[in-house]
Structure 1
């Protein structure tokens, strides 16, 4: 049985759990863009709201860390995890915002490969949100980071295939430039989920 002299303050773990729920909310909103004729302005505005909620969570987490003498996990790890969860949300929000600002709703439908990226990100968000509450007991986390890494590889493949589609001549040059910026944000979100998983793996090793 593992013993720890660290206090088990539930407030810290609740911050991380709430951030995970925000990522699921964000991806549910962003995925509305997979449907032709989606209200891109509404998607963008709602993503901004979720991103602001996440910023406040991160701010509250940092304040809690700074005001706590002994934290349940290493301070550096909690700072890193909070920042990386916020990074994921920033990339999700940026992708939705660019679709609206660039007027990409005028396209008949998003490329199938972009929808594949949405699917990968949705899966990453769900299993991350499921894993974060288990940080307190460090239970069954290895399967989580292995699956996140596998999904990140799927995201890389979908991103490369999306680039092939964009540069196939199907779209005009200006649309290609706009859509590539969106694709870059989606791919960055996939990578950011992997960074979260890597930090959780580091925490798990330290605490085991």
Structure 2
């Protein structure tokens, strides 16, 4: 009888996070190119590509759940794996949501803070990926807790950026529809920072619990 292949949950979580990073890359490219009319014309096609990446990430998430349901023994508490996997899935969904808001809100011009928001989202995703790369060897890792703290600092930067952007919006914008549109977009991007931090906190809690 063939031996059952060992499931590496840590690698699967890294794979899921790569999809979030990929979407953040696509979103940043979209924002940098947004001033070009052809970019706005091709927005639906670019959103389709982003959605396909999100769908691939969902498949990885579903595979983790499937394997957890079949597993008798897991390397750490199965609830911790489940929580981190769900957090990664939320990161992916929230970044995709920002991209689709551009189309849903019929955005034709970006406000000055938009690129700074998306660049910070990308940094958060990159740092989250570094955390997950160390997660599988957390008992011996000398850097994972430092990486988690760095990600928390990025989230604090995001909070400051959000407050400043909203203040500028209400100070300089007079069109009520634009205010509503951009307040929601800023809030959606702040949620991206928060979910990255939540994922890191879930990893940190798992480390404490399983050490």
How high is the TM-score relative to the length of structure 2? Answer: 0.88
Q: Which residue of 2 aligns with 1:161?
A: 164
**Equivalent runs, 1:30-179 vs 2, <5 Å:** 30-35=27-32, 36-37=35-36, 38-39=39-40, 40-104=43-107, 106-107=108-109, 110-138=110-138, 139=141, 140-170=143-173, 172-179=175-182
Aligned residue pairs total: 197
Q: Once the 2 structures are TM-superposed, how far is the Cα of residue 44 of structure 1 from its aligned partner?
A: 2.0
Equivalent-residue separation in structure 2 for 1:197 and 1:116 (angstroms) = 22
Equivalent-residue separation in structure 2 for 1:141 and 1:171 (angstroms) = 46
Q: Are the counterparts in 2 of residues 26 and 50 from structure 1 also a CA contact under 8 Å? A: yes
Q: Which residue of 1 aligns with 2:3?
A: none
Provide the aligned C-alpha RMSD in A: 1.5
Q: Once the 2 structures are TM-superposed, how far is the Cα of residue 182 of structure 1 from its aligned partner?
A: 1.6
Q: Are the counterparts in 2 of residues 30 and 43 from structure 1 also a CA contact under 8 Å? A: no
- 1:93-122 per-residue CA deviation (whole Å, 9 max, x = no partner) reads 111001012110x21xx2232222112111
Q: Are the counterparts in 2 of residues 114 and 162 from structure 1 also a CA contact under 8 Å? A: no
Equivalent-residue separation in structure 1 for 2:70 and 2:130 (angstroms) = 28
- 1:158-204 per-residue CA deviation (whole Å, 9 max, x = no partner) reads 11111112212335211221122221111001000000010111111
Q: Are the counterparts in 2 of residues 80 and 199 from structure 1 also a CA contact under 8 Å? A: yes
Q: Which residue of 2 aligns with 1:12?
A: 9
Q: Are the counterparts in 2 of residues 114 and 159 from structure 1 also a CA contact under 8 Å? A: no
Q: Which residue of 2 aligns with 1:207?
A: 210
How high is the TM-score relative to the length of structure 1? Answer: 0.89
Equivalent-residue separation in structure 2 for 1:42 and 1:57 (angstroms) = 23
Equivalent-residue separation in structure 2 for 1:171 and 1:114 (angstroms) = 19
Q: After the TM superposition, which segments of 4 or more aligned residues of structure 1 sit over 4 Å from their partners?
A: none
